[in-house]
Chain A
Amino acid sequence: MRSRFRPDKRPDPAVLDDHRALIRSLQRRKILRGGLSLGALNLLTGCDVSSSSSVGQALNLMSAWNDRVQAALFDPTKLAPTYPRSMILKPPKFNAYFDISDLKPVDGQTWKLELAGLISDKRPWTAERFARLPVSEMVIRHVCVEGWDYIGGWSGPTLKSFLERVGADLTAKYVAFKTADDYPSSIDMATALHPQTLLATRYAGDTLADPFGFPLRLRMATKLGYKNPKWITAIEVSNTYSGGYWESLGFNWFAGL
């Protein structure tokens, strides 16, 4: 099964491979724990294909302007419509920048969630400890930037409750994510604190399956699909913009619904 999210013509993957060895060596040195921002990692991996020309630069400026317009349009109290459990699609649709055959499952036994940035309690979380957090559930519409959609049922602690528990600076601008599939992502704090923004561990009542982000993924009712990183391994609260995987290839950063 091939992900429809992948464009027919992809930018040359070599631009990502150039720095892969370097990133791996940086990760070996536990760079995140050392406090280097996720944004710096993204700068290493990212490439801005469309900013090479003046037209591309103008388009990127408009996209940055659209980020600001969307932040203004975003109503933190507006809830996305929810649906009955009977409408949940089982299983959900697989989506990544790679084929499902290239999936590398995360070992829940050794998995740790690391914390960085403007967070007072940065102790890493194990799956067992994370599972003891109070859980919210939502049945919401997943909207892909391509135009397709489906109804999914997600549960897990709200990102807000988690950020409060670890003593994050909730006045910071960004919450950034690092994942096992090298898919950096970042969101605005207003959306991070929205009640329909979950750190999901379950789908349709069952433990999240490997293709859909086991053991931990982000699920937001107020953003497009590609803004929801799967297989999360680290969370950083920051005031520094760090973009994301598709964003560095030209997709809009805010991507609010």
Chain B
Amino acid sequence: MRLHPLPIRLMHWTNAVTMIVMIASGWGIYDDFVIIHGSHFPEFLRLGSWAAPSLLWHFAGMWLLALNGLAYLVYGMATGRFRDRLLPIRLGELESTVRDTLHFKIEHGDLTVYNAVQKLLYLVVIIAGISQVVTGLLIWKPVQFSGWVALLGGFQAVRVEHFVGMAVIVAFLIVHVLLSILVPSTLWAMLSGGPRVRT
């Protein structure tokens, strides 16, 4: 058994492409009516030359995001991967990891063990992904799911929540990509499967 079995690698890279499509097309949609006054995403970062193609990309990509994400959640729970890799997260460990990181003591000798900060970040981004699918569905169908929209504060509130979810994922992506460049063996592991682990 590898650290990253083949299904995980396939789902990871499918998700990587899908996330880029969803974020870049989402920026194209956002620019037509911005949430933060005066802020626009530059044209070269947007997928789609104007709203219509951006919307087409977004509403095509959503299927891949939701289905791939669902497969990942089912796989993670059925195989026990989430429990083995992401839990438990201990507060004390979290503190010491943050302290070590601030002193530039970053432990990455063993790729198969995630530190507390890694665990927390992966959990947060998984939850953010689920939240994006839910809030996206509510923005798409605010009448059919009007009860849920009211529960989350109304149509504009759900729009903002969808925007914040994007911001969380983008922030994660910046850290995630930077760290994988700093420690290239992690990147290689997501391509080749990485070291063998006991199951």
> Is B57's CB within 8 Å of the partner chain A?
yes
A17 to B49, CA, bound (A): 22
Interface residues of A in 129-178 (CB under 8 A from B): 141, 143-149
- Closest-by-CB residue of A relative to B32 is A146
**B-contact 0/1 string along A35-62, CB 8 Å cutoff:** 0000000000000001000001011101
**A-contact 0/1 string along B16-36, CB 8 Å cutoff:** 000000000000011011000
A73 to B29, CA, bound (A): 23
- Among B33, B51, B53, B57, max chain A CB count under 10 A is at B51
With A60-B56, A81-B150, A143-B155 known as contacts, the answer to whether A7 contacts B144 (CB < 8 A) is no
Can you spell out 15 A-B residue pairs with CB atoms less than 8 angstroms apart? A7-B50, A7-B51, A10-B50, A50-B53, A59-B53, A62-B60, A73-B141, A80-B143, A81-B146, A141-B142, A143-B155, A146-B51, A149-B156, A221-B143, A252-B56
Main secondary structure of the interface of A (DSSP, over half): loop
- Among B55, B56, B57, max chain A CB count under 10 A is at B56
Question: What count of chain B residues pass the 8 Å CB interface test?
Answer: 24
**A-contact 0/1 string along B29-62, CB 8 Å cutoff:** 1101100000000000000011111011101100
Contact, CB under 8 Å: B143 / A63: no
Contact, CB under 8 Å: B144 / A249: no
Q: What is the distance, in angstroms, from A75's C-beta to the closest C-beta of chain B?
A: 6
- Closest-by-CB residue of B relative to A81 is B146
A residues near B155, Cβ cutoff 8 Å: 141, 143, 149
- Closest-by-CB residue of A relative to B49 is A9
A147 to B33, CA, bound (A): 6
Contact, CB under 8 Å: B52 / A251: yes
Q: What is the distance, in angstroms, from A64's C-beta to the closest C-beta of chain B?
A: 11
Contact, CB under 8 Å: B52 / A73: no
**Interface of B toward A, CB cutoff 8 Å:** 29-30, 32-33, 49-53, 55-57, 59-60, 63, 141-144, 146, 150, 155-156, 159
With A81-B146, A146-B32, A147-B29 known as contacts, the answer to whether A249 contacts B159 (CB < 8 A) is no
A58 to B55, CA, bound (A): 13
With A59-B60, A66-B59, A148-B33 known as contacts, the answer to whether A80 contacts B52 (CB < 8 A) is no
> Is A22's CB within 8 Å of the partner chain B?
no
Q: What is the distance, in angstroms, from A30's C-beta to the closest C-beta of chain B?
A: 33
B residues near A66, Cβ cutoff 8 Å: 59
- Closest-by-CB residue of B relative to A5 is B32
